[in-house]
Structure 1
Amino acid sequence: MATETRTDPAFAGVDVRTLRVYRNKKGPERVIPLHWECYKILALYLTGTSDATKVRKGALYRALDRYSLVRNFQRKAGLLEHRCLSLDYGEANEAQKDYWECITGQEYTVFSPQSQVHLKDDIATYISGPEFDKPRQYHHEAKGHINPLTLLPETIMSGVAEFLDNQSLINLFCASLETYSSLRDNDSFWKRRIITHLPYFFELHECLKEQSQTLENRDIGRIFLWADAASKPRSSVTKLMFSVANRRRIWNVCEQIGKVYKEEPQQKAVPKSYLACQARNSERQVLGDTGEPGLYFRTAHFLQGWAELSSPWTLDLFWNSEGDLSGIAVTFGQDQRIFGHETHESGACQSTGSFSGGVWIEGFVFHIYASSALRPWQACSWNYSSCKGVTVHLTDGSEHMYGQDGEHLLRMPFAAAENMTIVGMKGTLAVSLHGPFLEFLTLRI
């Protein structure tokens, strides 16, 4: 914030020596010393938006204070205290001194981590090369040994793979060639994995959304492996990836801070405008899967203020012509808040339930039709997984079933934890021959 020669212009007129920075007893004012670009990334990680005003600064200060250390360095003038945080900054840890030092190969650590517009075009050009051509289809025959994983529906196997890190996923593929064969050409699986396991690669996310049609003949799995390796923050990273590698390094620091930040208590009275950004996300739930290209991201805030819990409301569920769940909506008065898509095609239908105030959604049980891994969707357009029915559990103990309820459907429960309230949903829609339907979702609680 201040050097021997000049002061940060953002603090003109402020005596920075009176400010308190982690375990400093000199004054009542407290500051969080962060580069502004790093702070915007931290805000994005903590709140889902780069709007820094939505960060709970008191909670952030207390979280960082728990990481703070005071180290003593001997100087000619005497013992000098150096305050720092016990966070893993990657290779930048080597430069944690009170002066600048140029370390060959680590130039990316001072490169701007903000999204680079030109990089998206460079990536689109690069992945259009022959090394990312989709491989030829091949048929694998098991050699007689029994593989228990082949007994699992493809939707279940895809859901399990969502929770594996990259090395564990590779180990699974090595142990089960059948699993590798079923997921190898599953573009929607690899696209989701790019979003969920490479959350810092904004340029690639944009490329997936804008170039969905031109990516049909691309090997998305290979693109994922390339993106993961090329963006690793290390000395050998190429100049093209400087911004992404530094952003990934910073994102790793944000993950460390986020674990402690989320443990900090929130204010009892939560303002209406802050309800959505204060919400926490549940784990992802896979509702369906298809090989058709396309990602449609959706978010819905069912509750916009705690007072609405005492108001009457209506629940609507939308189904396409094949009976796939395409949307869930909550309506207060004339204000409908929809997650997903309301289909208007011939044969589409809608289920509606009306409820009084004081009763709210406690959880869902989704009725899933599981596809068969033995029949590729390219040959059987009907062979895809989707949600065919929903049982809604309310806080008064009642249950309400909508859609299909056959014994052939899998039951997948999804509910808020104790003392938590569902305030919304976010996730993606998949595309089939019969229109969009819900692919996977996350509860906001």
Structure 2
Amino acid sequence: MAYDCYCAICGVGFCGMHIETPSEASLERRRRWIEKRYRAMKASSNNPPLPHENEARDDPVRSYDPRIVGWDNVSWLYKAYCLGLSDQPDTKSKAFISGPGYYADIGEIAVKTESESGHTQQRNVFACYGSGSDDARGPVIPFHWCCYEILTRTLTGSTDTNNVNTDVLYTVMNDLCNMSGSALDVTYGPDYCATHPTNTPTLEKFIQTSVTEDKDLRVPPTKIHLNGRSPTSPFGNLPLEMIYRICSFLPGESIKALTEASLSMHLVSQHNYFWEKTIQWDMPWLSEFHALKAGKEKSSLPDDINYKRLYLWLDNMTAPRYGMDNPSLTGVANRRRIWKVCEQLAPRYLKGLEEVAQK
């Protein structure tokens, strides 16, 4: 792991990813360590206590599981790109994107480019989160390309990276550089998964098979009996369209809490359509499911899905957590974590666009 420079979007470094040697002894040590860590994290709400004296003697596992992660899974981490400011006065956009390059240590990204003659290569060196270099008049913001693609979808709703206003994005990210000059001052969350976040070829099939074969996901929604009770809350006076609109701004945990606290909302949430829309609002990062949902083939998903159960199942299965071992899910769990970072940047970016439009 690179200890002094990290991707501005996912918070992971650009080198030093170690995959464990696949021996029985190392795998058994890994199993014991993960089991112990998992119990500690569960007991302390994901804030592990200090280990006891006998536990402290155990060597911590700092490598990736070879049964889950191979070179193909981590090679993307070594390709570095950067967002910087151009020193060319005649360019329409002040910001530029350079790469792919590699991490050259001490907080620098090196990018090799061909000379104008095409016969030789020149090496441009950019200082990340620093004060600039000979090749850029200010600090550059380093990132992995697939992380930038996720950021693009979060900011623009499209997959076309050309839709991003890089001038505005550079200003936003540069203002958020942390005091140590190693990343942005945002909450990245624990990087439990190193798997590529967008290259997830088995996920769509996994979801389709699970939904089709798991009968619990197709149990008819439970009908609630009021037994003479009459809902009295502000939500009971609102049209359904307004309630759906309000819920579209809430995270899934808040929606679940609201349906438990308000009888009116609990009644609304009995409709399958409510949870179908909740998946759309709360899981924009789950493109594989949305592709299945929009599929032209009628056999893509069953017609009798219980969307509340499906939402809870998807929320649990894709949650980034310590000890994940399903190759079909580690990538999307990583994407979900990265999307949360992008959502922290989005309000600043949109505000920057508004300020540019007003000039």
Deviation string for 1:292-325 (max 9, x for gaps)?
xxxxxxxxxxxxxxxxxxxxxxxxxxxxxxxxxx
Using the TM superposition, give the Cα deviation of residue 56 of structure 1 relative to its aligned residue in structure 2, in angstroms: 1.8
Q: How do residues 206-285 of structure 1 correspond to structure 2 at under 5 angstroms?
A: 206-210=291-295, 214-239=301-326, 240-265=328-353
Match of 1:348? none
Asked if residue 91 in structure 1 is aligned to residue 190 in structure 2, the reply is yes
Q: Provide the secondary structure at the position in 2 that maps to 1:264.
A: helix
Secondary structure of 2:170's aligned partner: helix
Aligned residue in 2 for 1:121: 205
Question: TM (normalized to structure 1)?
Answer: 0.48
Amino acid at match of 2:220: P
3-state SS in 2 of match to 1:68: coil
1:133 equivalent in alignment to 2:133: no
1:45-70 alpha-carbon deviations (Å, 9 max, x no partner): 22222222222222222111111134
**Between structures 1 and 2, the one with greater strand share:** 1
Distance in 2 between residues matched to 1:252 and 1:50, nearest whole Å: 17
Match of 1:27 in 2: 134
- Separation in 2, partners of 1:23, 1:249: 26
Cα distance in 1, alignment partners of residues 231 and 217 from structure 2: 33
**Equivalent residue number for residue 112 of structure 1:** 196
Per-residue deviation, 1:120: 0.6
1:21 aligned partner, one-letter code: C
Instruction: List runs of 5+ in structure 1 lacking aligned partners.
Output: 72-81, 93-105, 271-418, 420-445
Select the structure with the greater relative contact order (CA < 8 A; seq sep ≥ 6).
Answer: 2
Change (3 A) 1:87 1:198: same
1:247 and 1:122 map into 2 onto residues whose CA distance is 17
1:2 to 103, 124, 140: 103
Q: Deviations over 1:22-60 (max 9, x none)?
A: 341433525431111111111222222222222222222
Contact 1:111 / 1:243 at 8 angstroms: preserved in 2?
yes
Change (3 A) 1:192 1:51: same
Distance 2:349 2:281 in 1: 21
Q: For 1:197, which of 282, 290, 296 is the aligned residue?
A: 282
Q: Report the structure, 1 or 2, having the larger helix content.
A: 2
Amino acid in the other structure paired with 1:124:
Q
Q: Deviations over 1:390-436 (max 9, x none)?
A: xxxxxxxxxxxxxxxxxxxxxxxxxxxxx8xxxxxxxxxxxxxxxxx
C-alpha separation in 1, matches of 2:320 and 2:308? 21
1:369-384 superposed matches below 5 A? none
Identity %: 25
Shift of residue 176 of structure 1? 3.4
What corresponds to 1:48 in structure 2?
157
CA 1:47–1:178 in structure 2 vs 1: closer, same or farther (change >3 Å)? closer
CA distance in 1, matches of 2:237, 2:158: 41
Which SS does the other structure have where 1:140 is aligned? coil
Point out 4+ residue stretches in structure 1 off by more than 6 angstroms.
none
Q: Which amino acid aligns with 1:87?
A: V
CA distance 1:175–1:60, shift in 2 (3 Å): closer
Q: Report the CA distance shift for 1:242/1:144 in structure 2 as closer, same or farther (over 3 A).
A: closer
Indicate the residue corresponding to 1:181 in structure 2: 267
User: Which structure 2 segments of 5+ residues have no match?
Assistant: 1-101, 115-120
Query: Aligned partners of 2:172 and 2:196: how far apart in 1?
Result: 25
Give the secondary-structure state (helix, strand or coil) at the position aligned to 1:15. Answer: strand
Alignment of 1:300-315 (within 5 A): none
Alignment partner, residue 103 of structure 1: none
